[in-house]
Chain A
Amino acid sequence: MAVASHTDLLAMYEQMLLIRVFETEAERQYKAARIGGYCHLSSGQEATCVGVIEAMQEDDLLVTGYRSHGFALARGTSPEAVMAELFGRRDGCAHGRGGSMHLLDTDRGYYGGWGIVGGQLPLATGLALALVRQGRQQAVVCELGDGAVNMGAWHESLNLAALWKLPVVFLIVNNKYGMGTSVERASAESDLYKRASAFRMHGEPVDGDDLEAVIEASGRLLERAREQREPAVLEALTYRYRGHSVADAGLAYRTKDEITERQERDPLLRTAAALREAGSTTEELREIDERVEERVQACVEFASNSPEPDVDALAWAMYAQGSDEQFARMRPGSAFGEEDLVFDGGLGK
């Protein structure tokens, strides 16, 4: 199945590699204490990230959970801005306010990585509702993990999406484990896509490590969403190589053999093989490799040089411009920082 041209495939391979190398570097920087908080890596899931984004149109919208670096990078968000965000710096895509879990890039329709499991699903239906109200023939990709299907928000959101015919594709990234609990130990119906049928919604699985299969399936479902306002569930079966977050060694609940076995059918290796078959030379692939390594080092350089956020702007943008008048009378007797409120006035714009 050839759904992508050789040139496109090369570009996508480069993006997948960018994610892999970026995540490896993020882990290194985390261990060097230059990145803090939680840091959930996408290594192993690159074909899903890049394939789904490839199938999206430029004006389609995206929301994700907290394992979001891969999606942001695939969507074209500046990797420098992503690394700067992980470093908590002013030039981060959320100006150092969000960190690893809360990347965003509204210019590219990316309305956030969200940190509460399942919380982004209702938001996605709202984005889709707004698209419909505004008469825009666009779709929303709502990424979630396999653990999120057991939240009430899943049930409520799929019901609303089906009931109101909202253009959303719910993309379950099934990497087999919600933290350390396997899908089989968490879900009574472990074929997660089948749960769509409870809402008379279409659902299907796809090999999430097969780039072209991901593009084909997500492209088809996004088109239905856009053109017929038919929501759907796409379950991408993939695997994460690293632990749940950098703090988790990832071996309490699975064996090294299992990881090794998955690495043998690594999405990058598979895509590289497809490229060689289509005529790419080792030299060509090595050049991509070098370019990506250089870019990621440039990201670290950029992030290191970006200034820390201004402490005087601690409450930056918590409230919109114009709110200063409303808060002006809160101050007497206050020791709670109201005098330091900073209202949205164009930081980073």
Chain B
Amino acid sequence: MSVATEQGSEQQATGVERMTYREALRLALREELARDERVFIMGEEVGVFEGSYKVTAGLMAEFGEDRVRDTPISEEGFVGAGVGAAMLGERPIVEIMTINFLLVAMDQVINHAAKIGAMFGGEVRCPLVIRTPNGAGNQLTAQHSQSFDGWFAGTPGLKVVAPANPADAKGLLKSAVRDEDPVLVIENLPIYKEKGDVPLDPEFVTPIGRAAVPREGSDITIVTHGFATVRALHVAEELASEHDVSAEVVDLRSLRPLDMETVAASVAKTNRALCVEEGWPSYGVTAELAARISKACFDDLDAPVERVGMAEVPLPYAKNLETAAMPNEDRIAAAALSVLA
């Protein structure tokens, strides 16, 4: 395989390149558009405007208006159009500006896309990708600062992935595009600008259903995903330098399927678990993790499983209130120390 460079020449893509999470997503989109004619992008402002968060910048110019298709503000309409096109063998990638707006298309995601394989007895499939950022932290207030990861991950029929770094942003998005089932790719606004090494091989993919251990440790396991992984890694450094605590960080990467093997193996080693998420913890991803860890690791645990998430309020505007509500590093560190106490 080869890719077109910025100069337009063809060369073998090897090695890694340092780029932002946003650029890694764009690279994945460009590679998949080039690889497979059935792939097309659809969403609000993805084309002429070059993406609300510039993920799709340049792609309409490169691939045309059919492959990179601007839509009206009609989430239910165009998510459903993605479902229908996928049923007929296309590979639509639908961008939703933020996960908050996916709620108006919930019927198409939950009642339609997620049901197709089972409800029709395997007679038709729905290889649809929806990618959307969640997250808080920019004073966007109650309607634009939410994380519904657990809602979607709790729905049989969907697959849900949440990359936490640029390499996985590329690798998981590519896996999603190549998957035969509907996959929700949950991105995160604050990490669009984070940089990391990204493999340039166009066949590089991150497998769905495999967690990563970006930091090894022996005293406590912090299980997390998405932007909370970035926070957890900072906290782990702080715990090491200030408290002489060795924290292991498990980045789930996939929420459904969930890689419990990696989680359980880590907890078996550290005997303590802290689960962290950006969303509200009640009935959330961390609730699911705590239940599963309690069962799978009952004999290993030296302390109750602890959780940190968003304060259970609609997110306020004032900066100090927003900061206090978020699963910030101080709260994560405090929770980790309480598990170790």
B207 at the A/B interface (Cβ < 8 Å)? yes
Does B259 lie within 8 Å of A330, measured CB to CB? Answer: yes
Contact with A along B13-53 (1 / 0, CB 8 A): 00000000000000000000000000010000000000000
| Interchain CA distance A346-B125 in the complex, whole Å | 12
A16 at the A/B interface (Cβ < 8 Å)? no
B88 at the A/B interface (Cβ < 8 Å)? yes
B164 at the A/B interface (Cβ < 8 Å)? no
The residue that A126 contacts in the complex, of B84, B121, B181, B207, with Cβ under 8 A, is: B84
Question: Could you list 30 examples of A-B contacts with CB < 8 Å?
Answer: A93-B123, A94-B120, A122-B108, A125-B84, A126-B81, A126-B82, A126-B85, A127-B87, A129-B81, A129-B84, A133-B40, A153-B107, A156-B72, A159-B74, A159-B77, A160-B77, A315-B156, A316-B122, A319-B117, A322-B180, A323-B159, A327-B209, A327-B257, A330-B258, A331-B260, A332-B260, A332-B264, A333-B297, A335-B295, A338-B257
A124 at the A/B interface (Cβ < 8 Å)? yes
> What bracket does the count of chain A residues touching chain B fall in?
35 or more
Q: Identify which of residues 277-330 in chain B touch chain A, using a CB-to-CB cut-off of 8 Å.
A: 292-297
| Interchain CA distance A260-B1 in the complex, whole Å | 71
| Interchain CA distance A191-B99 in the complex, whole Å | 37
The minimal Cβ–Cβ distance linking B123 to chain A, given in whole angstroms, is 6
The residue that B121 contacts in the complex, of A121, A317, A322, A330, with Cβ under 8 A, is: A317
A177 at the A/B interface (Cβ < 8 Å)? no
The residue that A329 contacts in the complex, of B89, B122, B260, with Cβ under 8 A, is: B260
Does A330 lie within 8 Å of B209, measured CB to CB? Answer: yes
**Residues of chain B with a CB closer than 8 A to A97's CB:** 118-121
Does A123 lie within 8 Å of B87, measured CB to CB? Answer: yes
| Interchain CA distance A128-B294 in the complex, whole Å | 49
| Interchain CA distance A156-B74 in the complex, whole Å | 6
In the complex, which residue of chain A has the Cβ closest to the Cβ of B262?
A329
**Residues of chain B with a CB closer than 8 A to A124's CB:** 84
**Residues of chain A with a CB closer than 8 A to B220's CB:** none
Q: Given contacts A156-B74, A332-B292, A338-B257, could you give 10 more A-B pairs where the C-beta distance is less than 8 Å?
A: A97-B121, A106-B124, A121-B80, A126-B82, A127-B88, A130-B84, A153-B76, A319-B157, A326-B208, A334-B292
The minimal Cβ–Cβ distance linking A152 to chain B, given in whole angstroms, is 6
A131 at the A/B interface (Cβ < 8 Å)? yes
Binding site for A on B (CB under 8 A): 40, 66, 71-72, 74, 76-90, 92, 107-108, 111-112, 117-125, 127, 156-157, 159, 179-181, 207-211, 254, 257-264, 292-297
| Interchain CA distance A61-B87 in the complex, whole Å | 12
Does A126 lie within 8 Å of B257, measured CB to CB? Answer: no
The minimal Cβ–Cβ distance linking B68 to chain A, given in whole angstroms, is 13
The minimal Cβ–Cβ distance linking B238 to chain A, given in whole angstroms, is 30
A112 at the A/B interface (Cβ < 8 Å)? yes
The minimal Cβ–Cβ distance linking B199 to chain A, given in whole angstroms, is 20
Does B88 lie within 8 Å of A152, measured CB to CB? Answer: no
Does A333 lie within 8 Å of B87, measured CB to CB? Answer: no
The minimal Cβ–Cβ distance linking B326 to chain A, given in whole angstroms, is 29
Does A95 lie within 8 Å of B121, measured CB to CB? Answer: yes
Does B123 lie within 8 Å of A153, measured CB to CB? Answer: no
In the complex, which residue of chain A has the Cβ closest to the Cβ of B88?
A130
The residue that B122 contacts in the complex, of A129, A133, A134, A347, with Cβ under 8 A, is: A347
Q: Identify which of residues 303-349 in chain A touch chain B, using a CB-to-CB cut-off of 8 Å.
A: 315-323, 325-335, 338, 344, 346-348
Does B112 lie within 8 Å of A104, measured CB to CB? Answer: no
Given contacts A122-B76, A126-B84, contact A116 B111 (CB under 8 A): yes
Interface centre among B78, B118, B207 (most CB of A within 10 A): B118
In the complex, which residue of chain A has the Cβ closest to the Cβ of B180?
A320
Given contacts A97-B119, A332-B261, contact A122 B83 (CB under 8 A): yes
Does B83 lie within 8 Å of A317, measured CB to CB? Answer: no
Does A157 lie within 8 Å of B260, measured CB to CB? Answer: no
Given contacts A333-B260, A333-B264, A333-B296, contact A347 B125 (CB under 8 A): no
Instruction: Give the 5 A-B CB pairs with smallest separation, nearest first.
Output: A122-B80, A126-B84, A333-B296, A317-B122, A156-B77
In the complex, which residue of chain B has the Cβ closest to the Cβ of A323?
B181
The residue that B86 contacts in the complex, of A94, A126, A334, with Cβ under 8 A, is: A126
| Interchain CA distance A95-B120 in the complex, whole Å | 7
Does A126 lie within 8 Å of B123, measured CB to CB? Answer: no
Does B120 lie within 8 Å of A102, measured CB to CB? Answer: yes
**Residues of chain A with a CB closer than 8 A to B125's CB:** 320, 344
| Interchain CA distance A125-B262 in the complex, whole Å | 42
A205 at the A/B interface (Cβ < 8 Å)? no
The minimal Cβ–Cβ distance linking B73 to chain A, given in whole angstroms, is 9
Does B72 lie within 8 Å of A98, measured CB to CB? Answer: no
Does B80 lie within 8 Å of A125, measured CB to CB? Answer: yes
**Residues of chain B with a CB closer than 8 A to A22's CB:** none
In the complex, which residue of chain A has the Cβ closest to the Cβ of B254?
A326
In the complex, which residue of chain A has the Cβ closest to the Cβ of B257?
A327
The residue that A333 contacts in the complex, of B78, B180, B208, B292, with Cβ under 8 A, is: B292
| Interchain CA distance A116-B85 in the complex, whole Å | 19
The residue that B112 contacts in the complex, of A96, A114, A315, with Cβ under 8 A, is: A114
Does B72 lie within 8 Å of A104, measured CB to CB? Answer: no
